[in-house]
Amino acid sequence: MSVLTIIKEVKEIHPEVVVLVKIGKFYNVYLKDAYIISYLFGYKLRDMEKDVKSAGFPEVSLKRVIATLENKKIDYMILDRRNNYDADGKFENGNLNKYNEIYNKAKKHFNILARIENISNYLHNNMNKKETLNILKRMEQIIYE
């Protein structure tokens, strides 16, 4: 089975748990978990397939990631691909789990970044048009007033 198939099955059982998957000397996260990890640590979001994001970090960063997840009260589990995705570790906060709260902040953050990128791309692709200069002037007036 593919990693993504395994993750989807695990997420059906544990929808509010960040699932860290050890693959070699890296840990990867997928789906909603990728947004959380990328938001908290600045790791790059990657497209795996349509509407499926992933993020990863090196093994040496695991202690920092775990400490932050525990500090932010986000449940997590660690799976190791070498051991048929058996759980190597788990942390639960019970009713105090902030998974959804942090995910919502992360999703909002990345939606705003996407909007900014779309505006930047539009301005860049249309920089020689007169109306673009007018738009840019209006934007500068709003920003600098």
Are 35 and 44 in contact by the 8 Å Cβ rule? The answer is no
Q: Which helix (H) or strand (E) holds 107?
A: helix 99-125
Amino acid 98: pLDDT: 97
Cβ partners under 8 Å of residue 117, min gap 6: none
Residue count of the chain, please give it. 145
Instruction: State the pLDDT at residue 145.
Output: 87
Question: Mind listing the pLDDT tens digit of every residue in the chain (145 residues)?
Answer: 688 889 999 999 999 999 999 999 999 999 999 999 999 999 999 998 888 999 999 999 999 999 999 999 999 999 988 877 777 778 888 899 999 999 999 999 999 999 999 999 999 999 999 899 999 999 999 999 8
Domain boundaries, the chain: 1-145
DSSP-derived 3-state class of residue 66: helix
Q: What is the pLDDT of residue 46?
A: 93
Q: For residue 46, list its beta bridge partners.
A: 54
What pTM value is reported for the model?
0.87
Following DSSP, what letter does each residue of 7-48 receive, concatenated?
A: HHHHHHH-TTSEEEEEETTEEEEETHHHHHHHHHH-PPPEEE
> What per-residue confidence (pLDDT) applies to 86?
73
pLDDT value for 48: 87
**Class (C level, CATH) for 1-145:** alpha beta
